């Protein structure tokens, strides 16, 4: 699969949410997506009577420095699934909890970033769907 290079920027985030929803559904979760731009939760998932709140952050490629997220938007009780769409292969998924997001997060005066390379190089989070329990 190849993602078109002219994909509008606002479509990247929605693409990531759909990819995550599909992966969760494949793994037996009931999935509901929230609608709108200023939402704290992108996906509500349920499996075996347990509900999960999921925030999806998406970047387009390995050339990115990371996922944009302001520090005050990192919420306890939320599972963060960071998606790298990758241009010429399948997306990569990184499943993190809030304390892990904070560990990789850098806050600047006008923006916050969860660093791609530290998350990717750690290896503990890549495609670890089993972390959602």
Instruction: With cut-offs at 50, 70 and 90, classify the pLDDT of residue 40.
Output: confident
pLDDT over threshold 60, residue 2: no
pLDDT tens sequence across 26-36: 999 999 999 87
**Comparing C-alpha atoms, which of 111, 68, 76, 83 is closest to residue 97?**
76
pLDDT tens sequence across 46-86: 999 999 999 999 998 877 899 999 999 999 999 999 999 98
- For residue 98, how far is the Cα from the chain centroid? 12
Which class would CATH give 9-131? alpha beta
pLDDT over threshold 70, residue 9: no
Q: Which helix (H) or strand (E) holds 46?
A: strand 43-47
Indicate the length of the chain as a whole number.
133
């Amino acid at each position: 699969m190849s993602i078109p290079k002219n994909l509008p920027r606002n479509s990247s985030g929605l693409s990531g949410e759909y990819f995550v929803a599909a992966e969760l559904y494949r793994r037996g979760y009931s999935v509901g997506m929230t609608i709108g731009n200023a939402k704290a939760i992108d996906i509500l998932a349920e499996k075996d009577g347990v509900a999960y709140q999921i925030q999806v952050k998406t970047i387009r490629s390995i050339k990115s420095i990371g996922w944009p997220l302001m520090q005050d938007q990192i919420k306890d009780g939320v599972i963060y699934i960071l998606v790298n769409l990758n241009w010429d292969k399948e997306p990569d998924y990184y499943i993190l909890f809030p304390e892990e997001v904070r560990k990789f997060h850098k806050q600047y005066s006008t923006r916050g970033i969860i660093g791609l390379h530290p998350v990717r190089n750690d290896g503990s989070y890549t495609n670890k769907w089993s972390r959602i329990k």
